[in-house]
A = this chain, B = another copy of it.
Amino acid sequence: MTCNIDETHDPALLAWVASANGHSDFPVQNLPYAIFRRGDDRARIGVAIGEQILDLAAVADLGLVDADLIAVLQSATLNDLLALTPAARRRLRHRLSFLLSDSGYEAALLPHLVAGADCTLGLPATIGDYTDFYVGIHHALNVGSLFRPDAPLLPNYRHVPIGYHGRASSIRPSGQPVRRPNGQLKLAGQEEPTFGPSRRLDFELELGIWIAGENELGGPIPIGEAPKHIGGFCLLNDWSARDIQAWEYQPLGPFLSKNFHSTISPWIITPEALAPFRQAQPARSEGEPRPLAYLWDESDQHQGGLALDMEVLICTERMRANSISPKRLSRTKASHMYWTAAQIVTHHASNGCNLNPGDLLGTGTISGPTRDAFGSLLEISSGGAEPVTLPTGETRIFVEDGDEIILRARAEREGFASIGFGECRAVVQPAVT
């Protein structure tokens, strides 16, 4: 996120793909990568442009990129692309920006454009390890006061970017249904736990951070180097079974309450695309501790934040049957992250833990300070006490079977083309009986 604003961010730049030039998530200033499949065809790397996907394996086959990028773009995952240096990644962005905005390439590339609607998008990368953090301070306060009224924010919170390992194998791309988990529940008023479907299934609105490059085991990543290890961002719904969590999480943290499924948006939004939307990290208040030296970098404080609006919507089965649009449950901002992406990466590697290209980090739930900005139903419904009413008259305190949860994010700044993340959505299916 030391990337500069350059000509690829020029708001006057138009693509020769018409759908990219309106209020699209994917104007030519964005250029995110995904893995797509059309019908039975093999998985391929694509770049989004408006409502279309440009097949980058085909672009490579045509010899339209530098020779060192050809094999990278012919892969079935984005791991090799995430292993590129930031300079090589910028070179690719510049090339794609040129190819998609210069109408001289339209004839050659048109056969390799496919409608996004005709494609299935997969996981962008083989995820080696997945780690989830807890940097949304309003979320930590809200959940802390439900689980630990005496000590909502623990003494370590303002010193340590708290994180824990999650499950890589159960991460799925947007669009795949989520099975409600069974688990041990300690029901109110009962002495012994029972086993059955979670009754308190929740979403969590998070950002995902894709790791680029790698550090050797034993070799930390200084905070000034951390931006080189950030390959992009996505949306992440960290599905959570609150009742399983409450019973299992002491003393070693959440486990089965989280690892049954996590949904991510399929597009990797690059740090280069987000360059115009960098902003200063909110200053710490009087009395708040200054981060330890290994987490402190003036440049990161100055531009390590992201001007990004995020929202979560719900669409129940009855809403779909009645063609009622999804209802927004919450709208928040990435600026509620207490720690920057660079601080998260540096902390993770500070003990020598090795991060690899394609590893995924979650930020943790990014809630704002008010109910209309809370990033989970646990918070929105005050732990189940205050139901949300939907346009059908239905109410929700947690997620019900058939509900679809949709996450969106959009970066906007005066004088720049706004860019979006695409959607992260999934419908909940009943538990296995």
Contact = CB atoms under 8 A, between A and B. Distances in A.
Given A164-B165, A359-B169, A256 B156 contact: no
Q: Secondary structure of the A side of the interface?
A: loop
A160 B181 CA distance: 16
Nearest to A347: B256
Contacts of A251: 144, 147-148, 154, 162, 249, 253
A144 B249 CA distance: 15
Interface of A: 128-129, 131, 134, 144, 147-148, 154, 156, 159-160, 162-170, 172, 179, 181-184, 186, 192-195, 217-220, 241, 244, 247-257, 259-261, 289, 292-294, 347-348, 350-356, 359, 429, 432
Contacts of A164: 164-165, 252-255
A248 B293 contact: no
Contacts of A163: 252, 255
Contact of A353 (B260, B359, B432): B260
B154 A260 contact: no
B350 A182 contact: yes
B292 A256 contact: no
Nearest to A220: B432
Contact of A184 (B134, B247, B292): B292
Given A128-B168, A144-B251, A252-B163, A244 B351 contact: yes
A147 B172 CA distance: 37
B217 A261 contact: yes
A236 to B, nearest CB: 16
A353 B259 contact: yes
